[in-house]
Amino acid sequence: MDKVEFLILSNLIFNKEYISKVIPFIKSNYFEDLPKKVIFEEIVTFIQEYDKEISKEIVLIELQNRTDLTEETYKQCVHIIDCLEEVSSEMQWLIDTTEKWCKERAIYLALMEAIQIADGNDENKTRDAIPSILQDALSVGFDSHVGHDYLDDYQERYEFYRKKEDRVEFDLEYFNKITKGGLPNKTLNIALAGTGVGKSLFMCHVASSVLLQGRNVLYITMEMAEERIAERIDANLLNINIKDISEVPKAIFDSKLTHIAEKTQGTLIIKEYPTASAHSGHFKALLNELQLKKSFRPDIIFIDYLNICASSRYRGNSTVNSYSYIKAIAEELRGLAVESNVPIVSATQTTRSGYGSSDVELTDTSESFGLPATADLMFALISTDELEELGQIMVKQLKNRYNDPTMFKRFVVGIDRAKMRLFDVDQNMDSSTEKEEQYEYTESKLSKSFDGFTF
């Protein structure tokens, strides 16, 4: 008998502390032989049903009650159980050894499955599934963290408060102010606007600015072709009117792109999917494929746009209502952001009543109010005839988990639609200025209030 498997089965019977730490992570197919799998299944079934440790006698009784075992398999099971005994070992070593065994077995089984798929012996899976199977196997591990102890873990909590969080910065002053320096990882950020106001322009501009920071950008489009998104980014980065791009001589175009490549270490990937056909599962597979084929890992993901994504939970012909459907998409995308450890930026449409409004609210979100309930940051892009004449667009905060949403509730940014650019402009809104002054006063007062603070 394999010594590690013998050790695992013995401790699953005799070591109560070990059981609670490893049961959630061990799978029956990790065991090489059928008798060991059967014994493991009986142990786990009993523990899960009765919430108590099992004895060798109980395992033997449960095996006798089974009708799916051959006489030879039953005899082998009995022999293995007779050999199991209490083993005195250091707990952390036991857990580390079990974790290493689980990883090795998961990788071995994944490689065997991949070979079967590659040889065409699996009718249910194609070769496209191989990267995901191997990725899942490589990620096998024990998560020993069971929660934050408020009193015992205060030192770690204090260090967390003082640690500078990695954020993807904007090149727009007031967006950095309302987000405390940019977008944190594991977040979903939504721009709300009517048709033609500038949702895609906003995302293309931010994608361009992040690329120039030397970061990797993934832009997923389901509304426009990859080339059309690239054309907008060209207009932004090359400082050329989008209508004139097709007339630029190739030598000049090559020179400008070479200059941009020299300025940044980042990469921008644009991927197109048919409208309403792709969901978070497709995006996750894309991330795995990019990692394997191009060693590309994004620092931020743009999805243009949320309402025309599909849901991995509901099929397209499902009778589910729009509230649940859009909310499901938002939750799945935020889950992808958490799993991938990146911020995701997307957009949504306003309702018909909010389309021409100069004061958009959360209630003007089309199709589902479940979207703003899920988003970490949500803001409206508002355009009026007066703002268009000034070459500006108004931004109104609707929800903000990073900062006080009443701070700079509204502000304006300049917009150059011909070059697909946004830029900072002077703010002529008294309420914003007053609020900023009030904030600075409050910060100063807060810092002074802790001078000489004692218990």
Global model pTM greater than 0.85: no
Flag whether pLDDT at 100 surpasses 60: yes
Using alpha carbons only, give the angle 31, 33, 38 rounded to the nearest 5 degrees.
Answer: 75
For residue 305, whether the previous peptide bond is cis, meaning omega lies within 30 degrees of 0, is: yes
CB atoms within 10 A of CB 167: 17
Q: Are 428 and 443 a contacting pair, CB within 8 Å?
A: no
CA dist 139 and 131 (Å) reads 12
* DSSP helix, strand, coil percent of the chain (3-state; round to 5): 55, 15, 35
What local confidence, expressed as pLDDT, does residue 201 receive? 95
Fold of 3-138: DNAb Helicase; Chain A (1.10.860)
Phi-psi region of 276 (alpha: psi -120 to 50; beta: other; left: phi over 0): left
Please report, for residues 115, 130, 256, the alpha-carbon distance to residue 112 in angstroms, rounded to integers and kept in the order given.
5, 11, 49
112 vs 442: which has the higher pLDDT: 112
Strand partners, 302: 219, 345
What local confidence, expressed as pLDDT, does residue 316 receive? 59
Domain ranges within the chain, ordered by starting residue: 3-138, 167-446
Flag whether pLDDT at 231 surpasses 90: yes
Q: Which whole number is the average pLDDT over 195-205?
A: 92
Among the listed residues 104, 130, 138, the one whose alpha carbon sits nearest the alpha carbon of residue 30: 104
Model pLDDT for residues 145-161, shown as the tens digit of each residue: 667 888 888 898 888 88
Architecture of the domain delimited by 167-446: 3-Layer(aba) Sandwich (3.40)
- Mean pLDDT rounded to a whole number for the chain: 86
CA dist 121 and 126 (Å) reads 10
Q: What percent of the chain has pLDDT over 90?
A: 58
Among the listed residues 187, 161, 191, the one whose alpha carbon sits nearest the alpha carbon of residue 175: 191
- 245 confidence band (pLDDT: 50, 70, 90): very high
366 in helix, strand or coil?
A: coil
- 165 confidence band (pLDDT: 50, 70, 90): confident
Model pLDDT for residues 125-151, shown as the tens digit of each residue: 888 788 878 878 888 888 766 678 888
Q: Which whole number is the average pLDDT over 350-370?
A: 66
